Amino acid sequence: MPDKAIPVIQVKNLKKTYYIGETGIRALNGVDFTMYRGEFCAIVGTSGSGKSTLLNMLAGLEKPSAGQVVIAGKHLEKMTESELVTFRREHVGFIFQSFNLMPTLNAVENVALPLTFRGMAKAKRERLARGALRLVGLQKYMLHRPTQMSGGQQQRVGVARALVLKPEIIFADEPTGNLDSATSEEVMGLMQLIVKEHQMTLIMVTHDNHLATYADRVFRIIDGKIVSIEENKKVETEALEVQDKESIRSEEQTGAAGESTAKGKISDAGGDLP
Ligand code: ADP
Ligand code: MG
């Protein structure tokens, strides 16, 4: 459940204009919102509406033209490049549409890679990487290279690589854009569970309305403006229904309230994260 008491990202009157020669393109035109700890937020809009621009500002990858981005109490728009690099390393994980895995490295080595920049010893890096891979259900694929895995498995490696840093925030830009619909559902379900379990804030941008149904809140963006923010009641209701059925069933079988299988699996593996 999102913790409304702890704001993680606060955006105020955010604007971004790109210039091509003399012509200005208003990619973001005054955006305001707050996102909270443990929340899965989807930013939904058509191509060219400003989704990637917004995500890049939130991640400190690009400077806004005006306005504020406050993350964990720090103003990103006031940071220098080297402060932003440190900020990203410590607080943020990324999941990419194109997976961005290193083709010559196996799954463990790919997931361990971001930990290198934290100056961690190899044995510890690989232990944490194996933990994150178990978390996403890839225990049998630890030594496989990207070309030896399906698209869905590669993106699960991508999810594990974002998780291994235990970031407060994960950014995902069209994370299932290169996956078929069944595999997309699987990856979305996985991300949804992990965010809840570890109380992370996940911000996903997508043009796909259906994928947005996995989020707690849906932010609609048109021409660089957020035009609506809706709570996704459906997610919670479905989760509750499943939980109810599961606990009724396990009460019938064992006389005790039980957790859903998927959740149990995640918590077991969760102990392996740093
Ligand atoms: P989305 O991710 O929703 O498809 P973008 O954020 O990539 O949209 O783009 C929003 C608008 O800003 C578009 O009109 C796009 O052409 C423009 N834009 C994005 N990046 C740049 C850039 N580096 N230079 C110039 N225009 C850009
Ligand atoms: Mg985009």
53: CA distance to ligand 2 center in Å?
7
pLDDT on residue 273: 54
Q: Does any domain span residue 116? A: yes
Instruction: Give tens-digit pLDDT for 3-57.
Output: 668 999 999 999 999 999 999 999 999 999 999 999 999 999 999 999 999 999 9
Q: Where do the DSSP E strands lie in 104-245?
A: 169-173, 201-206, 217-222, 225-231
Secondary structure of residue 142 in the 3-state scheme: coil
Q: Of 83, 67, 65, nearest to 17 (Cα)?
A: 65
Q: What's the rounded mean pLDDT across residues 78-90?
A: 93
State the total domains in the chain: 1
Packed helices 122-135 and 151-163: angle between N→C axes, nearest 10 degrees: 130
State the residue range of the domain holding 145.
42-63+78-249
pLDDT on residue 89: 87
The verdict on the CB of residue 5 being under 6 Å from ligand 1 is no
The verdict on the CB of residue 45 being under 6 Å from ligand 1 is yes
The verdict on the CB of residue 46 being under 6 Å from ligand 1 is no
CB atoms closer than 10 angstroms to residue 82: 8
- Report the atom number in ligand 1 closest to the C-alpha of 19: 25
Distance CA 77, CA 34 (A): 16
The verdict on the CB of residue 50 being under 6 Å from ligand 1 is yes
Q: Does any domain span residue 210? A: yes
The answer to whether residues 43 and 57 touch, using CB atoms and an 8 Å cutoff, is no
The verdict on the CB of residue 49 being under 6 Å from ligand 1 is yes
Instruction: Give tens-digit pLDDT for 210-234.
Output: 999 999 999 999 999 999 999 987 5
Q: Does any domain span residue 176? A: yes
Q: Does any domain span residue 207? A: yes
Instruction: Give tens-digit pLDDT for 136-191.
Output: 999 999 999 999 999 999 999 999 999 998 899 999 999 998 889 888 998 899 88
- Report the atom number in ligand 1 closest to the C-alpha of 54: 6
65: CA distance to ligand 2 center in Å?
19
Distance CA 79, CA 63 (A): 9
CATH of the domain at 187: 3.40.50.300
Distance CA 270, CA 106 (A): 22
The verdict on the CB of residue 23 being under 6 Å from ligand 1 is no
pLDDT on residue 1: 58
Which strands make up the sheet holding 74-75, listed edge to edge? 23-37, 3-20, 66-71, 74-75
Q: Does any domain span residue 68? A: no
The verdict on the CB of residue 27 being under 6 Å from ligand 1 is yes
- Report the atom number in ligand 1 closest to the C-alpha of 16: 12
Query: Euclidean distance between the first and final Cα of the chain, in Å?
Result: 22
Output the six-digit token pair for 44. Answer: 């939904």
The answer to whether residues 15 and 65 touch, using CB atoms and an 8 Å cutoff, is yes
Q: Does any domain span residue 268? A: no
Q: Does any domain span residue 243? A: yes
Give residue 52's identity as a one-letter amino acid code: S
Q: Does any domain span residue 231? A: yes
Length of the chain: 274
pLDDT on residue 108: 98
